[in-house]
Amino acid sequence: MARAKRLVICLDNSGYELALEKRKVYVALPDAKAARLGHIRVVDESGEDYLFPKEYFAPVDFPRSLRRAIMQAA
């Protein structure tokens, strides 16, 4: 079963300053292979999804209504 999209916050953007903003919430897409390699697939500032080190992000949990609004805006 595929995991759903989730929200993560950027803690570090070292080496990816043009693609990521620290303290910004991003949408992470399910990618089991990337996870096994220590990465996370995130929709970055360009609007495209790319792999980044998973330690650069932390999961965030919002109330359902806020989560839905963020996902619709993304």
Q: Is residue 47 part of a domain?
A: yes
Query: Does residue 17 have a pLDDT over 50?
Result: yes
Mean pLDDT of 20-45: 95
Q: Is residue 1 part of a domain?
A: no
Count how many domains the chain has. Answer: 1
Q: Is residue 48 part of a domain?
A: yes
Task: Of 31, 27, 56, give the one whose Cα is nearest residue 44.
Answer: 27
Mean pLDDT value across the chain: 92
CA pair distance 47, 42, nearest whole angstrom: 9
What pLDDT score was predicted for residue 1?
43
Per the structure, the complete domain to which residue 26 belongs is given by 6-73
CA pair distance 68, 9, nearest whole angstrom: 16
What pLDDT score was predicted for residue 71?
84
Q: Is residue 43 part of a domain?
A: yes
- The CATH code of the domain that includes 22 is 2.30.30
- Band (pLDDT 50/70/90 cuts) for residue 72 is confident
What is the pTM (predicted TM-score) of this model?
0.87
What pLDDT score was predicted for residue 57?
98
